[in-house]
């Protein structure tokens, strides 16, 4: 018998080497209790959460929790069915209405995760004769959506407007083209130049899909994302998003204006061939999305938090993923995986949780400590976080 798992031997070795020094496994943390969007108990101690993507802190919102409980009582624990069979309840229609209102768009289609939304929409709309032109730093779910479909894939250099234009110009003018961009790129927290890129796409006759997973709720005047902030939301053909970040639950969606959009409900396999979200989940999502429309104060506070943390970390001597804070993600660059893991553990010992990110998820082989801020982090917590970075950074030799 050929051991099919032997292909993972190098990774198993790397993991064993890392843990042989007694280091805590950074990819196996258990949250023993979650007290709020910003605090949990991990390894028996109070830990500030700075790596949850819970940007708007909706997970413990009383209205959101109440809506989930009511739906659980009234509709039961799950739908046990696909959206196109027995899995569409009034709650699924209600969350799609909330999304249409939130984005002021004509159509909304809800999937069981954001991953499946990318998988489904990308593989369904771009066919055999079509081209997908995508930023090379795109999220795994975008690449997997491409792999599931039959279109030809044309990557271009990250956030490079000229490279995008050049690629588009080389393609047959009559061919179907889908350009895929993200509002905020989740590894470094940098924002796409959507205004310029969307203009280039329109000039080349390409349709545009923007994944706003990390900007929904926070960026843009009404929280509609980078496309709203840069004034191009009406030129974007498809927006993909998730309920697993600012919305505070689980699920994914696509909103769109083209009138033929609704046909996708019948042909999109990751929508048809899977069970729909539980009633409690769609009820929490709908309540949360409607509250996010009027959350300008929280958005302003989250910007303040991001700016303060970015400036503070820089002042301490850490290298960061962006020169200026561009989103609620602040990436701290580590020299290698060993130092990154040691720093991650030192922060956890201080009482702070951040995400350790490493290749292949990261661009250019980087090891990163990714911080994602929450609108509910208090000024005191941001101060505590900076103190913890200072202590852990000195203990591990990351800063002097």
Ligand X SMILES: Cc1ncc(COP(=O)(O)O)c(C=O)c1O
Shortest CB 245 distance to ligand X, Å:
7
Q: Which one of the spans 29-37, 110-118, 148-156, 224-232 is the region binding ligand X (CB under 6 A)?
A: 110-118
Helix 90-103 vs helix 279-293: crossing angle, to nearest 10:
20
Residue number of the CB atom closest to ligand X? 114
| Nearer Cβ to ligand X (214/291) | 214
Structure letter (DSSP) for residue 243: S
Binds ligand X (CB under 6 A): choice among 92, 107, 139, 358: 139
**Rounded Cα–Cα distance for residues 97 and 280 (Å):** 16
Distance in angstroms (rounded) separating the CA atoms of residues 225 and 147: 26
CA distance 263 to 109: 11
The DSSP-derived string for 252-275 is: EEEEE--GGGGGHHHH-HHHHSSB
Whichever of 83 and 308 has its CB closer to ligand X, that residue is 83
Asked if residue 213 binds ligand X (CB under 6 A), the reply is: yes
In the complex, the smallest distance separating the C-beta of residue 357 from ligand X, rounded to whole angstroms, is 11
CA dist., res. 286 & res. 316, Å (int): 41
Considering only residues 164 through 203, tell me which ones interact with ligand X, judged by CB under 6 A: 182, 186
CB atoms within 10 A of CB 6: 9
Residue 113 binds ligand X (CB under 6 A): yes
Can you tell me which of 190, 211, 237, 345 binds ligand X, judged by CB under 6 A?
211
* Residue 47 in contact with ligand X, rule: CB under 6 A: no
Comparing CB distances to ligand X, the nearer of 148 and 399 is 148
Q: Which of 141, 280, 287, 367 is the binder for ligand X (CB under 6 A)? A: 141
Stretch that binds ligand X, among 22-30, 78-86, 90-98, 113-121 (CB under 6 A): 113-121
| Per CB under 6 A, 396 contacts ligand X | no
Report the alpha-carbon distance of residue 362 to residue 341 in Å, rounded: 15
Beta carbon of residue 225, minimum distance to ligand X (angstroms, whole number): 11
Among 115, 131, 261, 318, binds ligand X (CB under 6 A): 115
- Between CA 291 and CA 274 the distance in angstroms is 29
Give the binding-site size for ligand X (rule: CB under 6 A): 14
Least distance to ligand X, CB of residue 189, Å? 11
Q: How far is the CB of 194 from ligand X (least distance, A)?
A: 14
With respect to ligand X, which residue has the nearer C-beta, 230 or 242?
Answer: 242
DSSP label at residue 237:
S
- Between the CA of residue 170 and those of 133, 173, 177, what are the distances in Å? 11, 8, 12
Q: Does 223 bind ligand X (CB under 6 A)?
A: no
Among 37, 51, 91, 114, binds ligand X (CB under 6 A): 114
Q: Which is nearer to ligand X, 214 or 298 (CB)?
A: 214
Binding residue (CB under 6 A) for ligand X from 47, 118, 362, 381: 118
Rounded Cα distance between 39 and 22, Å, is 26
Residue from 38, 79, 242, 355 binding ligand X (CB under 6 A) = 242
Q: Are 161 and 173 in contact (CB under 8 A)?
A: no
Residue 114: strand, helix, or coil: helix
Note whether 252 binds ligand X by CB under 6 A: yes
- Give the range of 7-15, 211-219, 285-293, 353-361 binding ligand X by CB under 6 A: 211-219
Q: Of 96 and 211, which has the nearer Cβ to ligand X?
A: 211
Shortest Å, Cβ 115 to ligand X: 3
Q: Give the gyration radius of the chain's Cα atoms.
A: 21
- Coil, helix or strand for 329? strand
Q: What does the DSSP 8-state code read for residue 235?
A: G
CA atoms of 186 and 359, how far apart (whole Å): 14
Cα 332 to chain center, whole Å?
18
Nearer to ligand X, 113 or 276 (CB): 113
Give dist(CA 179, CA 194) in Å, integer. Answer: 11
**Shorter beta-carbon distance to ligand X: residue 40 or 184:** 184
DSSP character string of 141-198? HHHHHHHHS-SEEEEE-TT-HHHHHHHHHHS-TTS-EEEEEESEETTTTEEP-HHHHH
Binding site for ligand X (CB under 6 A): 113-115, 118, 139, 141, 182, 186, 211, 213-214, 242, 244, 252
């Amino acid at each position: 018998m050929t051991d099919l798992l032997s292909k993972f031997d190098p990774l198993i070795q790397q993991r064993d080497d890392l843990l042989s020094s007694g280091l805590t496994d950074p990819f196996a943390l258990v949250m023993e209790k979650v007290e709020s969007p910003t605090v949990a108990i991990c390894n028996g101690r109070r830990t500030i959460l700075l790596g949850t993507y819970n940007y708007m802190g909706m997970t413990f919102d009383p209205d959101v929790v109440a809506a989930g409980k009511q739906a659980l009582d009234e509709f039961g624990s799950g739908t046990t069915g696909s959206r196109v069979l027995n899995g569409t309840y009034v709650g699924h229609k209600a969350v799609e209405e909330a999304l249409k209102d939130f984005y002021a768009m004509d159509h909304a289609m809800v999937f069981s995760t954001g991953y499946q939304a990318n998988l489904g929409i990308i593989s369904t709309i771009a066919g055999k004769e079509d081209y997908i032109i995508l930023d090379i730093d795109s999220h795994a779910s975008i690449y997997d959506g491409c792999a599931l479909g039959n279109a030809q894939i044309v990557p271009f250099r990250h956030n490079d407007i000229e490279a995008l234009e050049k690629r588009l110009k080389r393609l047959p003018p009559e061919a179907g083209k889908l350009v895929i961009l993200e509002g905020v790129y989740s590894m470094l927290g940098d924002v796409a130049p959507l205004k310029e890129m969307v203009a280039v796409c329109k000039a080349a006759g390409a349709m545009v899909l923007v994944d706003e997973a990390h900007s929904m709720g926070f960026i843009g005047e009404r929280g509609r994302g980078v496309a709203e902030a840069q004034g191009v939301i009406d030129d974007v053909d498809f927006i993909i998003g998730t309920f697993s970040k600012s919305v505070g639950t689980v699920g994914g969606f696509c909103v769109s204006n083209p009138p033929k959009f609704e046909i996708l409900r019948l042909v999109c396999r990751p929508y048809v061939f899977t069970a729909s979200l539980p009633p409690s989940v769609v009820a929490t999502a709908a309540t949360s999305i409607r509250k996010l429309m009027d959350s300008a104060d929280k958005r302003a506070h989250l910007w303040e938090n991001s700016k303060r943390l970015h400036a503070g970390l820089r002042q301490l001597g850490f290298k960061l993923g962006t020169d200026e804070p561009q989103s609620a993600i602040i990436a701290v660059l580590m020299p290698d995986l060993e130092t990154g893991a040691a720093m991650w553990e030192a922060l956890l010992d201080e009482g702070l949780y951040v995400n350790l990110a490493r290749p292949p998820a990261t661009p250019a082989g980087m090891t990163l400590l990714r911080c994602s801020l929450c609108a509910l982090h208090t000024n005191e917590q941001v101060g505590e976080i900076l103190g913890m970075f200072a202590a852990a950074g000195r203990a591990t030799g990351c800063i002097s």
